[in-house]
Amino acid sequence: SQQGEEDPQALSIQEGENATMNCSYKTSINNLQWYRQNSGRGLVHLILIRSNEREKHSGRLRVTLDTSKKSSSLLITASRAADTASYFCATARTYMNSGYSTLTFGKGTMLLVSP
Amino acid sequence: DAGVIQSPRHEVTEMGQEVTLRCKPISGHDYLFWYRQTMMRGLELLIYFNNNVPIDDSGMPEDRFSAKMPNASFSTLKIQPSEPRDSAVYFCASTLGLAGISSYNEQFFGPGTRLTVL
């Protein structure tokens, strides 16, 4: 089943407002990553938070991770029209008997920021 | 670095035709991933390579799909014969595995190939 599920599926706000997106997952993880995808483009990595971290900041981005609830949130402060994009969380698992692991992406939250 | 390069950017073909998608990863990266993105199923991992060796192809939907990585700077994803349900955006991504594990670092995505099978 899908590892990461974003909520809400779509979010519409005005410039200057904050945008919060949530991600829930089902199994234990090594880290959780957030990506952005502009229309017609590839995904771009935004931030990575490890399982032993609770909060991380990068510019206007703030990510939290609650491993007990198996959830994460991405907050974009003082949003701009250029933040309009789809945002995906991706969870990383490590398989016990090998060093290999992959990312599992959710279906994303579509954010629209109006001027 | 130019980033991950994919070609073609758009491909329109007729059902039954062979389609070949190409990818050049970022130089020095040791992992390469092929994904497919559709509205219904989101982003799905099809196959990934480590040091040019296919590691897991369990995401490849059918035998009609095949992927190769003949060297560290080139990979192909081939669909033969193509069907309308293969229409999607196909992404290639690469990363440098930290501690030998691919998911400890960010993945770098190419711009994608939008495939339309009529």
A11-45 per-position pLDDT tens digit = 999 999 999 999 999 988 889 999 999 999 999 99
Is the pLDDT confidence value at A96 over 60? no
Over residues B30-56, the pLDDT tens digits come to 999 999 999 999 999 999 999 999 999
Which residues of A fall within a CB distance of 8 Å from B53? none
At A56, the pLDDT band (50, 70, 90 cuts) reads: very high
Residues of B in contact with A105 (CB under 8 A): 42-43
A38, closest residue in chain B (CA to CA):
B111
pLDDT at A1 over 90: no
The DSSP code sequence of chain A is: --SEEEE-SEEEEETTS-EEEEEEESS--SEEEEEEE-TTS-EEEEEEEETT-SEEEETTEEEEEETTTTEEEEEE-S--GGG-EEEEEEEE---TTSS---EEE---EEEEEE-
Q: Is A72 on the interface with B (CB under 8 A)?
A: no
Share of chain A above pLDDT 90, in %: 77
